[in-house]
Amino acid sequence: MTDRPDDATDLPRFAAQVLDVVDLVPPGQVVTYGDVAEYLGEGGPRRVGRVMSQHGGAVAWWRVLRADGTPAPGLESRAFAEYRREGTPLRPGGRRVDLSRARWTGDPAGSA
């Protein structure tokens, strides 16, 4: 027992929750690092970013980006490929995501 690896693995509780939230974000929508932290009610953007850098590959990491709408450094190319594939709304110029339209608030209306 010892503990029940809730979902993915024997990851720390916080990390598991972060990955869980990201997994809830539907295609075509995104969330910021700060939003995830706020959604969980603990930690901070920096903390979420660390989790993603270590275990981001286990989820749709491209759906988590910075507050200004720019994806994670180094992965921009792949991220934009996904945005184009999922139809994620981008801002004029196509260099960043239109958060005003693509931001997922955690509202169940979007996931179903």
Partner DNA sequence: ATAATGACGTCGG
Partner DNA sequence: TCCGACGCCATTA
Is 15 a binder of DNA (CB under 7 A)?
no
Is 88 a binder of DNA (CB under 7 A)?
no
Residue 52: strand, helix, or coil: helix
Which tokens is 56 given? 């981001």
Count other Cβ atoms within 10 Å, centred on residue 95: 12
Give, in order, the Cα–Cα distances in Å from 69 to each of 13, 24, 72, 84: 27, 19, 10, 15
- Shortest distance, position 100 Cβ to DNA, whole Å: 12
Select from 8, 39, 40, 47 the one that contacts DNA (CB under 7 A).
Answer: 47
The two most distant CA atoms of the chain are separated, in Å, by 52
Element (H, E) at 108: helix 108-111
Is 46 a binder of DNA (CB under 7 A)?
yes
Is 83 a binder of DNA (CB under 7 A)?
no
Name the residue nearer to DNA (CB basis): 53 or 105: 53
* Contact residues: DNA, CB under 7 A: 32-34, 43-50, 52-53, 56-57, 61, 64, 66-68, 72-73, 75, 95
